[in-house]
Amino acid sequence: MAVTALTHLDTLSNAIGEPTAISYLPWTGSSGGDKMTFFGRFRNLFGFMIEQHVIEYIYENELVHFRKKFGDMKGYADLLSQASFLFTNGNPYLDFAHPTLHKTVMIGGISVEQDAMNMKEIDQKWSTILSARPHTVLISFGSMAKSIDMPVHYRQALLDTFSSFPNVTFIWKYENEDSSIAADHPNVYLSSWVPQTALLSKLYAFHLYLTCWE
């Protein structure tokens, strides 16, 4: 079995014989989506080729040192192709639609330590926020994709959605918590930092976490 903490990596797909769908599936480091122009697809192909070259260079150089110490051994591509399963840190409901093999199994949150989460406590401030309404949703796009850099119409679309659920508190990890973007939305709480592990350990807090790569 093979395991990766990433949601999707073209190099792994290529190694196990899984279609990479370069024409509409953004490569790992892409900042775009699945709807591309001709030049967007060309850029996607170029990024895919660069990724292949860089990762193969890293893996092959690592293999040289391993072989010096442990003798002859198979490369990563051979090992992956023979693995019965490949577990990824992906979510089929949130990831871009793409062809997969039966051996690829998406397990969102595979890198989360459940025991450590259950030991986390939250202070009075966050307890008050969580108890303000029957349900709570945490919106976080990770540390690489900043909400403050999101296109205005994307942010407005989120706010419009939040307004449709007045009985739900939305905690939005937003890099400028002094922003007035949510001034007219009493059920939206902006915070540049959230105790994510502690919040997610509470049974009454629902969670929407998107891991994005730029």
3-state secondary structure the chain: CEECCCCCCHHHHHHHCCCCCCCCCCCCCCCCCCCCCHHHHHHHHHHHHHHHHHHHHHHHHHHHHHHHHHCCCCCHHHHHHHCCCEEECCCCCCCCCCCCCCCEEECCCCCCCHHHHHHCCCCHHHHHHHCCCCEEEEEECCCCCCHHHCCHHHHHHHHHHHHCCCCEEEEEECCCCCCCCCCCCCCEEEECCCCHHHHHCCCCEEEEECCCCC
pLDDT in tens, the chain (214 residues): 888 877 778 888 888 888 888 888 888 778 778 888 888 889 989 988 998 888 888 888 888 888 888 888 888 888 888 888 888 888 888 788 888 888 988 887 766 666 655 556 778 888 899 889 988 888 888 777 788 888 889 899 999 999 999 999 999 999 988 899 999 999 999 999 888 777 776 644 444 444 433 3
Q: Which pTM was predicted?
A: 0.53
